[in-house]
Structure formats: C-alpha cells, structure tokens
Amino acid sequence: MQITELQSNEQNILQSFKDKEYPATDNEHYGDNIPDFTEKEFTLISKESEVITGQIHIVIRYGIAYIDSLLIGTEYRGKGLGKQLVEMAELKAKKDGAHKIWLETGSTWSARGFYEKLGYTVRAILPNDVGHQECVLMDKML
C-alpha cells in the first residue's frame, strides 16, 4: 500500500471512491436523517453612500452555519450595525437550511461580550488557538 498526495488528474477516481463508500457510513451515522452536505456561503455588506461600513461572511456546511468573519468599520461601531448584520445573517442562514450557527473568538476580546449579548453560548475553551491565544467556541440555535 502506497500513500501519496492526491494529484489533480485523480479527482474523478477519488469522487467515485467517496460516492461508493460514503452511503454506508452515512447510514451508520445518521440513519434516515442524512444532513444536506451541500456547502453554501454568503457575504452581507452594509454601505453608506456606496462606502462599505461592515461585513459578515458565513459558510454553511452540513446544515451548520459558521461566522467566518465579522468586521465593522471603527467609526461605525457601537451603533447597532454588528447586531443588525449578525441577525440578518442568522435569518438568511436559517432560510438556507442551517439549524445552528457557531464561531470562534478570542476569550478576552470584546466580541465575546457582543456575541453573548446576542444570545450565543460559550461551549468550549480552546487553549493555544489562533495566534497562540486562548479562544472560545460559541454557538446559538437558529
């Protein structure tokens, strides 16, 4: 048995292997409730006079939405824009089939308090995470 890195011309045989092997495993894991494995992503932006003031990027995998990034322009913070973007993203993610949304943020960052205010719960502490900082994993049911 040899282990090699997948080459671009081997994509088709890999897909055939997965198509053949996954159904039995999915059945063992999920029974009749097979999640939607389609990946979706979207970005919402806020603008004032054609200038971008904030953005949120969401990735949905296996029916779970992930807040990949959220950024409000410094001069627009503290005015409810972050809350508006997150709430609109939650609604769209739910429409797109997600039943839950999650994110990671620094455990001492002010974003943690912001997400707690919006109903997110800390589910795990992630030591030595991005930038070797302690982070938290937070989620919310949609």
Ligand X SMILES: CC(C)(COP(=O)(O)OP(=O)(O)OC[C@H]1O[C@@H](n2cnc3c(N)ncnc32)[C@H](O)[C@@H]1OP(=O)(O)O)[C@@H](O)C(=O)NCCC(=O)NCCS
Q: At what angle do helices 110-117 and 81-95 cross, to 10 degrees?
A: 60
Per CB under 6 A, the list member of 29, 83, 99, 123 interacting with ligand X is 83
3-class state of residue 129 by DSSP: coil
Note whether 71 binds ligand X by CB under 6 A. Answer: yes
Per CB under 6 A, the list member of 46, 60, 65, 82 interacting with ligand X is 82
**Minimum Å distance from CB 99 to ligand X?**
21
Note whether 119 binds ligand X by CB under 6 A. Answer: no
Q: Is 42 or 102 the residue whose CB approaches ligand X more closely? A: 102
Note whether 9 binds ligand X by CB under 6 A. Answer: no
- Of the ranges 10-18, 30-38, 39-47, 76-84, which one interacts with ligand X (CB under 6 A)? 76-84
Give how far the C-alpha of residue 33 lies from the chain's centroid of Cα atoms, to the nearest Å. 21
In terms of Cα–Cα distance, which of 61, 55, 106 is closest to 85? 55
What is the DSSP track for 54-115?
Answer: EEEEEEEETTEEEEEEEEE-GGGTTSSHHHHHHHHHHHHHHHTT-SEEEEEEETTSHHHHHH
Note whether 140 binds ligand X by CB under 6 A. Answer: no
Q: Is 53 or 60 the residue whose CB approaches ligand X more closely? A: 53
Per CB under 6 A, the list member of 78, 131, 132, 141 interacting with ligand X is 78
* Sign of the dihedral through C-alpha 24, 26, 31, 34: negative
Note whether 47 binds ligand X by CB under 6 A. Answer: no
Give contact residues for ligand X (rule: CB under 6 A). 70-72, 77-83, 103, 105, 109-111, 113-114, 117
